[in-house]
Amino acid sequence: MSTAPIDHGLDLAVIGNCRTAALVDPTARLVWWCFPRFDADPVFSRLLAGDEEKGFSDVVLDGMTHYESEYERNSAIVSTVLSDGRGNAVRITDFAPRFRQFGRMFRPPQLFRVIEPVAGLPRITIRVRPTHSYGKPAQQYSIGSNHIRFYEDRSVMRVTTDAPLAMIENETPFVLTRPMHMVFGSDEGFSGDLATTAHTFAEQTRHYWSDWVRRLYISYDFQEAIIRAAITLKLSNFEETGGIIAAHTTSIPEAPGSGRNWDYRFCWLRDAYFVVKALNRVGATQTMEDFIGYTLSLAANVEGVLKPVYSVVPNLSLDEWIASDLKGYRGDGPVRIGNAAADQIQHDTYGSIILAALPLFFDRRLPRPGGEKLFRLLEDLGEKAAAVALRPDAGIWEYRGRQRIHTHSAAMCWAGINRLASIATRLGLGDRAAYWNSIADPIHQELMAKAWNPEREAFTAAFGSTDLDASVLLLPELGVCEVDDPRFVKTVAAMERELLREKHMMRYAAEDDFGMPVTAFMICRFWLIDAWWAQGRREEARELFIDALAHRNRYGLLSEDVDPRTGALFGNFPQTYSMAGLILTGMKLSRSWEDRYWRS
């Protein structure tokens, strides 16, 4: 029997329920699970364990020769079939339960695994090797009548199962003759029949996701890709607080050996704005309402400076440190826990919250529309945005070694202030509209004058800079300039010459704190496609988008970066920035149902 894992890289699926989430590979190995919360200690940490066989749970089929793994249609449930060369096969179904029960959402910090024989008499080994304290193998355990309890200090995980416990404890092969069930979760007794519960929870979870997808508004083209991206974004929403994490992992490097290894299991207000915008675009507005609730406690701190990133429980520390017991993704460390970006100055954050809240005042579908009370709270953010709009900061790409007056940061501050004037007009507060327009106009004039570099014939990364930056592609989207403004047209042309690598778009092409970047940023490609589309370059835009879809893994997911030379995915995973960009661009490029039926 071979127990060597197959190296699939980032060919992973995410399962979750908006409270907990795990990553599973195509052979049904659970390789990453932060328990009980997105940003907690991973009990399954194999993804970052280098060559060490620890931090995972799997089902090893003796003599396996073939595997197939996919999401069940329109769900967050993964089904994997392992086959051997003698006609034996086993199906493994993985999910985190999520459905309505007793008038509220049932989303426990649990993973369910169903193991079924589908052909012959498959001989399997069930292995459970959890870790604690970021990579230390869990060596203490106790066995009950139908569970194994792993414990180290305050870290406890219980596996409840109707599989033979002695076989699991000793990793002994056995022939699977009936369905077996496993529940990974808290140290709590399990009431009821396990098989019946697993079957019921799976059916109710399928029904929940099917119903959620059915309520989405999606145009004709790219439906499968947009649906998968929408589910993935929803799985990044920590529903208890409304926070939205940037990705489910830490320290998957942006490029091999680069040292650009960051912890993304937190809520960047900027990233969350893009997620909210994307989900709103397809009609999933509840996440926006939850996120606004999350930000209210942050915005209500009138005296404090708004940080760019918070934990999903906003008051927790994000102090950065190195987990020495984890060697890193493919051995490429370090593994960082926490993120020092929380201490940076990033001015675009103020505009991000205002823009995220904007639909509350204009979208009549929402049950609780924004009123004057919320507007007054947003005005406090507007005052802070006005004060810092033209001051240096670390920028959208979070430079650790320098500060400049970044074009994107100034543009986001202006956009937030500009939208406050629109909200005031909507609420019939003419004096406040005039006030915010009087603040916005001079910032806009300064922005347009200082961001333009006549020698480079482009809007550049920062005032007085010669560097190009893909975030400048957002200027028309924010309303800073028109897409046919000759200066913007020249900016796009300059970026095509200097930032485009084959079909991949770099964030920038200048040295930063870690040297010269070598991987392309997925969302920057979507920004370029949006610009081309708006400029009437429809066929080019569509071709570049279809090529981007080809870089998704087998489950339809994207990470943060892609290697322009090999097409390999790098960076934390799955990345909400990338999935949000896919939705926003895909919806823009898609034909409407009317166009499909009448003009096909």
144 belongs to a structural domain: yes
571 belongs to a structural domain: no
Distance, in Å, from the CA atom of 348 to the CA atom of 388, rounded to the nearest integer, reads 9
141 belongs to a structural domain: yes
DSSP character for 591?
P
Distance, in Å, from the CA atom of 328 to the CA atom of 55, rounded to the nearest integer, reads 13
Six-digit token pair at 127? Answer: 């292995």
594 belongs to a structural domain: no
pLDDT of 368 over the 90 cut: no
First to last CA, the chain: 54
75 belongs to a structural domain: yes
495 belongs to a structural domain: no
Domain span at 151: 13-190
pLDDT of 598 over the 60 cut: no
Distance, in Å, from the CA atom of 523 to the CA atom of 143, rounded to the nearest integer, reads 48
- The pLDDT tens digits of the residues spanning 511-531 come to 888 888 899 999 999 999 999
Question: What are all long-range contacts of 482-488, with beta carbons under 8 Å and residues at least 24 apart?
Answer: 483/531, 483/534, 483/535, 484/535, 487/452, 487/457, 487/458, 487/459, 488/459, 488/531
317 belongs to a structural domain: no
- The pLDDT tens digits of the residues spanning 475-505 come to 999 999 999 999 999 999 999 999 999 899 9
pLDDT of 156 over the 80 cut: yes
Residue 597, pLDDT score: 57
Residue 442, pLDDT score: 98
What is the percent of the chain with per-residue pLDDT over 90, rounded to a whole number? 87
Mean pLDDT value of segment 307-323: 95
pLDDT confidence band for 6 (50 / 70 / 90): very low
Cα 373 → chain centroid: 31
pTM of the full structure: 0.95
Domain count, the chain: 1
Instruction: Identify the helix (H) or strand (E) that includes residue 230.
Output: helix 223-234
- The pLDDT tens digits of the residues spanning 171-217 come to 999 999 999 999 999 988 877 899 999 999 999 999 999 999 999 99
pLDDT of 393 over the 60 cut: yes
Residue 516 has phi, psi (to 5 degrees) of -90, 125
4 belongs to a structural domain: no
Six-digit token pair at 482? Answer: 């028109």
